[in-house]
Amino acid sequence: MKIVAENIEITNRVIEKALAEMDPGPVKAMAKQCEAGGADIIDINPGPLTRDGEKKMTFLVRTIQDSVSLPLSIDTSNPMAMAAGLKACKNKPVINGFSLEPAKVERILPLAREFDCDIIGFLVHTNGMVPSNANERLELAVQLFTAYNEMGLEPERLIIDPVLAPLMWEDGSAQAVELINVIKMLPDLLGFPVRTVVGISNLTSGKGIKEKKLLLEEVYLSMLAAAGLDMVLLNMFHQRTVSVVRACNAITNRRIFSWEDI
């Protein structure tokens, strides 16, 4: 399971201020902390970037690449800013991402072909609503893969995000269980070894005691690992959660066990 750091995002006040002032210092420092913490990929999520989007995304990509050598995940709904970020990447990036919303199929999905890179597909309805059960997610997966396939892209470059609902929702617990089943069923449904990613922090969105939130992250992440999850988007400052990823990998990687892997 690969770790995708979610720390460089517009909701982080340090990053928000650094981006507004085009100050590379805090961005570099955060990127180095993510790398030191064990990240495999760094997600860059500056929001929709309605002003100077291309300039700001290019700034973030170049600043981070000056600090670390990790591959990047470019995460914005602005297609022009997305393209600018992809163009600035030295290593093969990941596009994060597209869904069946018409604008994203038309303007984000083609970038995966243009830049020959992996892309994350979200299992949400065309109106952006999260599906309510496993059957809806699986139906969306077929539709998503059809749109992806029509673009002439290699199946192995698609990464599916089944979209984790918060436990605080009325059906949150039921959705968490069904999402695990979806991850298990996707390879048979689509006919190839589908890679999957989950944003683990979605599970505990909303109010709650921090220690209990972290416990839920750790427990659910272990369940996702058993289901075959390939990538997890998480806060690198949650080092216990990072440690759980390492422990899960030590068990599931089918190599000779070593305590040094944990």
231-255 pLDDT per residue, tens? 999 999 999 999 999 999 999 887 7
Indicate the residue type of 131: P
Confidence of residue 218 (pLDDT cuts 50, 70, 90): very high
Measure CA 101 to chain center: 18
pLDDT at 185 over 90: yes
Give the whole-number percent of the chain exceeding pLDDT 70.
100
pLDDT at 262 over 80: no
Give the whole-number percent of the chain exceeding pLDDT 90.
93
Q: How many residues does the chain have?
A: 262
Looking at residue 261, what is its pLDDT?
74
pTM as predicted: 0.95
Mean pLDDT of 79-88: 97
pLDDT at 7 over 90: yes
Looking at residue 50, what is its pLDDT?
82
Higher-confidence position of 207 and 2: 2
- Unique residue bearing structure tokens 């990464």: 159
Mean pLDDT of 123-134: 94
Please report the domains of the chain, with CATH numbers, ordered by start residue: 1-91 (no CATH), 94-262 (3.20.20.20)
- Biggest CA–CA distance in the chain, Å, is 51
C-alpha distance from residue 75 to each of 88, 108, 123, 209 (Å): 14, 11, 16, 29
Per-residue model confidence as pLDDT tens digits over 14-56: 999 999 999 999 999 999 999 999 999 999 999 998 889 999 9
Mean pLDDT of 139-158: 97
C-alpha distance from residue 36 to each of 30, 89, 256 (Å): 10, 21, 25
Q: Cβ atoms within 10 A of the Cβ of 80, count?
A: 13
Are 233 and 199 in contact by the 8 Å Cβ rule? The answer is: yes
Q: Please, what is the average pLDDT of the chain?
A: 95
pLDDT at 149 over 90: yes
Mean pLDDT of 123-127: 96
Looking at residue 192, what is its pLDDT?
96
Confidence of residue 8 (pLDDT cuts 50, 70, 90): very high
